[in-house]
Amino acid sequence: MARTTLTETAILVIDDEVSLRNTFSIFLRRAGYETVLAVGSYDEAIEAVSLRNFDLIICDIVLESHSGIDLLKRFRQLRVFCPVVIITGYPHVETASEAVRLGAFDYLSKPVEKEALLKTARLAIQQYRLELEKREAELAGERYRRILETIFKSVTDSIISVDKDLNILKMNQAATALFGTLQSGLEEGGNLAALCLNKDLCRLTENVTDVMKTGLELSDHRRECFPDGVCKVLSICISPLDDGTGEPAGAVLVFRDMSHNVQSQRPGRTQFHKMIGASPVMQNVYMMVENIARVDTTLLITGESGTGKELVVHALHQESLRRNRPLIMVDCASMPENLLESELFGHRKGSFTGAEENRMGRILQADGGTLFLDEIGNVSMNMQLRLLRFLQEKTFYPVGSDKEIRVDVRVVAATNADLKEKVTNGGFREDLYFRLLIIDIRMPPLRVREGDIELLANHFIDHFARRMEKSITGISEQAMGLLLRYQWPGNVRQLEHVIERACILCTGSTISCEHLPEEVSQVSQGDLRGLAEAPLKIEESRVMAGGHPELSDQERQTTMIILAALQKAGGNKAKAARILNIDRSTLYRKMHELHMDIDMFS
CATH number at residue 507: 1.10.8.60
- Measure the CA–CA gap between 198 and 182, rounded to whole angstroms: 8
- Measure the CA–CA gap between 158 and 148, rounded to whole angstroms: 15
DSSP labels, 95-146 = HHHHHHHTT--EEEESSPPHHHHHHHHHHHHHHHHHHHHHHHHHHHHHHHHH
CATH value at residue 165? 3.30.450.20
- The mean per-residue pLDDT over the stretch 133-142 comes to 80
In a shared domain, residues 290 and 414: yes
| pLDDT of amino acid 308 | 93
> Band of the pLDDT at 364, cuts 50, 70, 90?
very high
> Band of the pLDDT at 90, cuts 50, 70, 90?
low
Domain final residue, candidates 204, 232, 260: 260
User: What percentage of the chain carries pLDDT values higher than 70?
Assistant: 83
- E strands of 444-564, at which residues? 474-475, 510-511
Q: Which residue has the higher pLDDT, 200 or 387?
A: 387
> Band of the pLDDT at 530, cuts 50, 70, 90?
very low
Judge whether 317 lies within some domain: yes
Domain final residue, candidates 228, 260, 292: 260
- The mean per-residue pLDDT over the stretch 251-263 comes to 69
In a shared domain, residues 423 and 286: yes
Judge whether 197 lies within some domain: yes
Judge whether 542 lies within some domain: yes
Q: By C-alpha distance, which of 328, 355, 350, 358 is closest to 339?
A: 355
In a shared domain, residues 423 and 452: no
CATH value at residue 410? 3.40.50.300
In a shared domain, residues 485 and 453: yes
In a shared domain, residues 357 and 286: yes
Judge whether 69 lies within some domain: yes
User: CA 70 → CA 76, 82, 86, 95, 257, distances in Å?
Assistant: 10, 16, 12, 12, 65
- The mean per-residue pLDDT over the stretch 109-127 comes to 88
- The mean per-residue pLDDT over the stretch 128-142 comes to 83
Q: Which residue has the higher pLDDT, 150 or 492?
A: 492
- Measure the CA–CA gap between 171 and 205, rounded to whole angstroms: 16
Of the listed ranges 218-222, 561-565, 597-601, the least confidently predicted one is 597-601
Q: How many residues in total does the chain contain?
A: 602
10 Å CB burial of residue 111 (0-12, 13-18, 19+) is: exposed
Instruction: Look up residue 259 and give its DSSP letter.
Output: S
The parent domain of residue 352 ranges over 276-431
- Measure the CA–CA gap between 546 and 159, rounded to whole angstroms: 53
Domain final residue, candidates 498, 526, 554: 526
In a shared domain, residues 283 and 404: yes
Judge whether 231 lies within some domain: yes
Three-class SS state of 29: helix
The residues near 380 (Cβ < 8 Å, ≥ 6 apart) are: 337
In a shared domain, residues 242 and 182: yes
Contact 580/562 with Cβ under 8 angstroms? yes
Radius of gyration in angstroms for the set of CA atoms belonging to the chain, rounded to a whole number:
35
> Band of the pLDDT at 402, cuts 50, 70, 90?
confident
In a shared domain, residues 396 and 367: yes
CATH value at residue 542? 1.10.10.60
Domain count, the chain: 5
Q: Regarding beta strands 299-302 and 410-415, do their DSSP bridges make them parallel or antiparallel, or are they unpaired?
A: parallel
Tally Cβ neighbours within 10 Å of residue 105.
21
| pLDDT of amino acid 562 | 82
In a shared domain, residues 484 and 396: no
User: What percentage of the chain carries pLDDT values higher than 90?
Assistant: 26
Judge whether 1 lies within some domain: no
- The mean per-residue pLDDT over the stretch 76-86 comes to 87
Judge whether 577 lies within some domain: yes
Judge whether 412 lies within some domain: yes
- The mean per-residue pLDDT over the stretch 240-253 comes to 80
Of the listed ranges 229-238, 272-281, 434-443, 444-453, the least confidently predicted one is 229-238
Q: Is pTM, for the whole model, over 0.75?
A: no
Q: Of 16-20, 149-153, 316-320, which has the strongest mean pLDDT?
A: 316-320
| pLDDT of amino acid 252 | 87
> Band of the pLDDT at 262, cuts 50, 70, 90?
very low
Of the listed ranges 103-117, 347-361, 521-535, 563-577, the least confidently predicted one is 521-535
In a shared domain, residues 280 and 420: yes
In a shared domain, residues 521 and 543: no
- Measure the CA–CA gap between 268 and 280, rounded to whole angstroms: 8
Q: By C-alpha distance, which of 576, 581, 564, 578 is closest to 523?
A: 581
In a shared domain, residues 251 and 207: yes
Q: By C-alpha distance, which of 173, 193, 194 is closest to 185?
A: 194
- Measure the CA–CA gap between 495 and 501, rounded to whole angstroms: 10
